[in-house]
Structure 1
Amino acid sequence: MLTLLTGCAWFGGDGTSSTPVLELAVGDCVVTPQDVQAELTDVSTVPCDTTHQMEVYALVPDALDGPDAYPGADALTELADGACAERFAEYVGVDYRDSDLFFTYLLPSTRGWSEGDTTVTCLVTTTGEPLTASVAGSGR
């Protein structure tokens, strides 16, 4: 289970499909959920040439070297802030500080951590118009 990105997945004839959050991969394009939840198991993904709000650009496995006990949201947030900023340029093609895009992330929940989920998922997003193409190598 992951937290921070919250909501429910939905299905539609528009190419939207439900993807388990633990199966997200770099390059997956994600539609922002409409309903807020503390934890989620699935998100709606679409082809990247379809309107979407986020794109997975990095997976940071074994966050904090996977300690047995959940390290807490503060420790995971600190890790995610640095790790996602560091990996941004490699995917987008421009340093985060020079980009018109932003990033967010999914963090393992307490329950997810106890079940072996220690991966932080980094997502690129925008606060303006929705994305209509992949941002990989875009230099935005």
Structure 2
Amino acid sequence: MARAAALAAASLVLAGCALLDQDGTGPVSVFDAEPGDCFLVPEEITAELTQLTGVGCAEPHDQEAYAVVEYTPAEGADGYPGDAVLKDFADGSCAAEFAPYVGVDYRDSSLFFTYLLPSVRSWEQGDDRSVTCFITTTGEPLVDSVEGSEL
């Protein structure tokens, strides 16, 4: 099961730090990425991802997970809602979660966000309803956590 990479910001997706190898790097399931985990952009962008590459947040990294938001389908809606519905949900939810994590409103920040959406397959086979939000830049890599940074 995998999540489709949303083509928001720079279409970047990353891996989590919470389940890293002893040397600070390692593959992490997309389902295990948690707020505060830092990631490198995959060398190859694909429609579905199963793993991300995590790094310590003190190391240069491209993204940092800052929220995992559960999508709740409308009453009686059992099937996959579609990419457009999930992207609208992710745009609003990730924007709303940005300020509490970074300390400044998204519109006033020098940072950007992107996200991972449930894929049709992970929705149908794995009951995946979560959107994972990531902070990113379009310039230099991040070299520390952005939590509370007011950047």
CA contact (8 A) 1:6 1:35 kept: no
Spell out, residue by residue over 1:79-137, the C-alpha distance to the aligned partner (whole angstroms, 9 max, x if none). Answer: 00000001100000000000000000000000000121100000000001000000000
Of 87, 91, 97 in structure 2, the residue corresponding to residue 87 of structure 1 is: 97
Alignment of 1:1-140 (within 5 A): 1-4=2-5, 15-61=24-70, 63-65=71-73, 67-114=77-124, 115-140=126-151
CA contact (8 A) 2:14 2:41 kept: no
Spell out, residue by residue over 1:19-58, the C-alpha distance to the aligned partner (whole angstroms, 9 max, x if none). Answer: 0000111100010001121101000001100110000000
Q: Secondary structure at the match of 1:65?
A: coil
Identity %: 49
Alpha-carbon separation, structure 1, partners of 2:72 and 2:115: 15
Against the structure 1 CA distance between its residues 19 and 74, is the aligned structure 2 distance closer, same or farther, given a 3 Å change threshold? same
Against the structure 1 CA distance between its residues 22 and 12, is the aligned structure 2 distance closer, same or farther, given a 3 Å change threshold? closer
Alpha-carbon separation, structure 2, partners of 1:7 and 1:92: 19
TM-score normalized with structure 1 length? 0.91
Quote how far apart the aligned CAs of 1:68 are.
Answer: 2.0
Query: What are structure 2's unaligned runs of at least 5 residues?
Result: 6-10
Alpha-carbon separation, structure 2, partners of 1:46 and 1:8: 9
Against the structure 1 CA distance between its residues 101 and 25, is the aligned structure 2 distance closer, same or farther, given a 3 Å change threshold? same
Alpha-carbon separation, structure 1, partners of 2:14 and 2:66: 21
Quote how far apart the aligned CAs of 1:15 are.
Answer: 2.6
